[in-house]
Structure formats: C-alpha cells, structure tokens
C-alpha cells in the first residue's frame, strides 16, 4: 500500500491548527478579562478619589450678569 | 501548576512526535498512513476521559449546586468536544486512503457523530442562556445524557456490523499490538492527556474569572 504522506501531514496539520487555535483562544480570553478588570479597577479608583475631594462651594455656572443678553 | 502542566504537555507532544515518527516502525499492511493512529486514538481516549470528568462534575453540581463543579463540567465538556472534533476529522483523513471514503454512516461513526453533536448542543446551550444558574442546571442534565452515549460508541463495533475495526486495546484480554507501537501510542496518549488537563485547568480558571467579572 502506498504511504500516503499527504494524508499523514494533513491529519497532523489539522490537529496542530485545532489545538493551537484553542490555545490562542484561551490566551485571548485571558487578555480580555485582564483588560476588563483593569478598566473596572480604574473606574473604582477614580470614584474613590473623587469622593475624597472637598466639595466646591458656589455656583458652577457663570453668573447671570456675565451672560450675553438674549436676542429678540 | 497550570503553567507546569502546559510545559509538560508541550514536552510530551514533542516526545509523542519522536515516538510516532522516529521510533515506531512503518506498519506492514497500511504503510506510513497508519501513523495517524498516534493522533486519532489518543484524541478519543482524552475525549472519553474529559466527558467522564464532565459527567461526574455535572452530577456533583446537581447534588450540591457548587459553582466549582459547574465550572469543571463546563471546561471538561468544552475541551472534550475539541478532542472529539480532532478524533473525527483525523479519522476521516485516515479513512480516505484505507477505506476509500472520508465518511460512512456505520454504527461507530454515526454514534460518535451523535455524541459530538450533543456536546456542541451543550456548548450552544451554555452560551444561549443568560441566567447562569439555569444554564448550569440544564447543561448538567444535557452533559449527563450525552456522556451516557459513550459506552454505546465503544461497544457499537461489537453490537453492529461496522466498517470501523474493533478496539485493539480497550478490550478484554491482552493486546495483540507490537510492543513498540503500543509504547508510541501510550506516550502520545500521555501527552494528549496532559494537554487536555492543561486546557481544562486553564478554562476552569477563566470561567471563574468571568463569573467574578459579572458579579
């Protein structure tokens, strides 16, 4: 019977593709989860730092006198 | 631990390739195409093992509702599906030069295709149900039902007339396989089992991290 090396190569290449693809998928999922966690921590830290700042007194909007008059 | 498993799996796969292509001789009847066996047979054994782990973990989840058992079942079923896919695809590639066809609807091939589709359905189900507890419960039931088909796949070659050969190792009595071929097969099985364990451990950890992110 002929050796059919093409079929052997195809079988091993396919297996390498499937196992390698799954391994890469796990790595991508891990990176996405790490990025999401970093984002969540950044938002949490930002909120925590804002809550520690003293509240500013006064009106945040411009004074009415400084506004341009309304056009008829 | 997971990283160590990964390295061991990598080394095992290299050793498996050396055994399969360097040490094991050319088979007399089929020629070198028989070397596909070192990939095809261990892949289905690892699939059987991971589905058995998924079966046990699913029962444990239904009994105790522990999230860890569900994560293990989910990871094991997913990895088992990957290995079973490799087994079916390499079997088709091996079948063409030896049987003259990529696929035939005989009892072994049909029963293994049914199991594969059932585990694909499991993965779709897990992805489709948003309520995590409900998805875990339905998934556990489906994985138990699907895993119960594995003995049917194994014994199909005895119960019906099939094109697929009967098992050479997982059978009563001693193996008729030459020792060097048997050793190459077992080294490849150990390598793929390590790879499967590495995938399951890593996937289960990712599922835990996903649940933590959603909480």
Is A60's pLDDT higher than 70? no
Q: Which residue of B has its CA nearest to A34?
A: B209
The Cα–Cα gap between B149 and A34 comes to 38
Is B147's pLDDT higher than 80? yes
The Cα–Cα gap between A56 and A61 comes to 12
User: What digits encode the pLDDT tens for the residues B8-50?
Assistant: 999 999 999 999 999 999 988 889 999 999 999 999 999 999 9
Average pLDDT across chain B, whole number: 92
Q: Do B104 and B16 contact (CB within 8 A), yes or no?
A: no
Out of A1, A10, A18, the one facing B29 most closely (by C-beta) is A1
Sequence spans of domains, chain A: 18-48
- ipTM of the complex, rounded to two decimals: 0.91
Q: For residue B63, give the nearest of B129, B140, B149 by alpha carbon.
A: B140
Determine which of A5, A6, A21, A22 to mutate to test the interface with B (most B C-beta atoms within 10 Å).
Answer: A22
User: CB distance from B35 to chain A under 8 Å?
Assistant: yes
Chain B residue numbers touching A3 (CB-CB < 8 A):
26, 31-33
Is A59's pLDDT higher than 70? no
User: What digits encode the pLDDT tens for the residues B123-137?
Assistant: 999 999 989 999 999
Comparing A9-18, B112-121, B126-135, the range with the smallest average pLDDT is B126-135
The Cα–Cα gap between B191 and B188 comes to 5
pLDDT: which is higher, A40 or B201:
B201
What pLDDT, on a 0 to 100 scale, did the predictor assign at position A63?
60
Distance from CA of A8 to the nearest CA of B (A): 6
What pLDDT, on a 0 to 100 scale, did the predictor assign at position A72?
65
DSSP string computed for chain B: -HHHHHHHHHHHHHHHHIIIIIISPPBTTTBGGGGGHHHHHHHHHHHHHHHHHHHHHHHHHHHH--HHHHHHHHHHHHHHHHHHHHHHHHHHHHHHHHHS-S----HHHHHHHHHHHHHHHHHHHHHH--SHHHHHHHHHHHHHHHHTTHHHHHHHHHHS--SSPPPSSSSSS---S-HHHHHHHHHHHHHHHHHHHHHHHHHHHHHHHHHHHH-
The Cα–Cα gap between B77 and A38 comes to 30
Is A34's pLDDT higher than 60? yes
Is A58's pLDDT higher than 70? no
Q: Which domains does chain B have, with CATH numbers?
A: 2-166+174-214 (1.20.120)
Out of B94, B96, B206, the one facing A26 most closely (by C-beta) is B206
Is B104's pLDDT higher than 60? yes
Q: Do B89 and A13 contact (CB within 8 A), yes or no?
A: no
Q: For residue B40, give the nearest of A68, A54, A35, A11 by alpha carbon.
A: A11
Q: What Rg do the C-alpha atoms of chain B give, in angstroms?
A: 18
Is A31's pLDDT higher than 70? yes
Determine which of A5, A14, A15 to mutate to test the interface with B (most B C-beta atoms within 10 Å).
Answer: A15
The Cα–Cα gap between B72 and B53 comes to 8
Tell me the pTM.
0.87
Chain B residue numbers touching A22 (CB-CB < 8 A):
79, 82, 199
User: CB distance from B163 to chain A under 8 Å?
Assistant: no
């Amino acid at each position: 019977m002929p050796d059919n090396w093409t079929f052997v190569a195809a079988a091993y290449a396919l297996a390498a593709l499937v196992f390698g693809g799954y391994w890469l998928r796990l790595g991508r999922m891990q990176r996405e989860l790490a990025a999401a966690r970093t984002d969540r921590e950044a938002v949490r830290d930002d909120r925590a730092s804002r809550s520690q700042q003293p509240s500013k007194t006064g009106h945040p909007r411009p004074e009415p006198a400084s506004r341009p008059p309304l056009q008829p | 631990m997971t990283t160590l498993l990964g390295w061991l799996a990598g080394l095992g796969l290299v050793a498996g390739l050396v055994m399969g292509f360097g040490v094991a001789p050319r088979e007399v009847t089929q020629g070198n195409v028989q070397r596909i066996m070192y990939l095809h047979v261990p892949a289905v054994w690892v699939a059987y093992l991971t589905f058995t782990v998924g079966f046990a973990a699913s029962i444990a989840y239904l009994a105790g509702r522990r999230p860890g058992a569900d994560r293990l079942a989910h990871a094991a079923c997913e990895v088992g599906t990957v290995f079973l896919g490799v087994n079916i695809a390499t079997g088709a590639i091996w079948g063409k030069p030896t049987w003259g066809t990529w696929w035939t609807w005989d009892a072994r091939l049909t029963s293994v295709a049914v199991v594969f589709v059932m585990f694909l359905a499991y993965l779709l189900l897990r992805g489709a149900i948003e309520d995590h507890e409900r998805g875990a419960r339905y998934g556990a039931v489906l994985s138990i039902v699907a895993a119960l088909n594995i003995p049917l796949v194994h014994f199909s070659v005895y119960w019906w007339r099939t094109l697929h050969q009967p098992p050479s190792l997982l059978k009563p009595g001693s193996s008729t396989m030459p020792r060097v071929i048997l050793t190459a097969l077992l080294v490849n099985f150990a390598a793929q089992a390590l790879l499967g364990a590495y995938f399951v451990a890593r996937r289960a950890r990712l599922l835990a991290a996903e649940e933590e992110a959603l909480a």
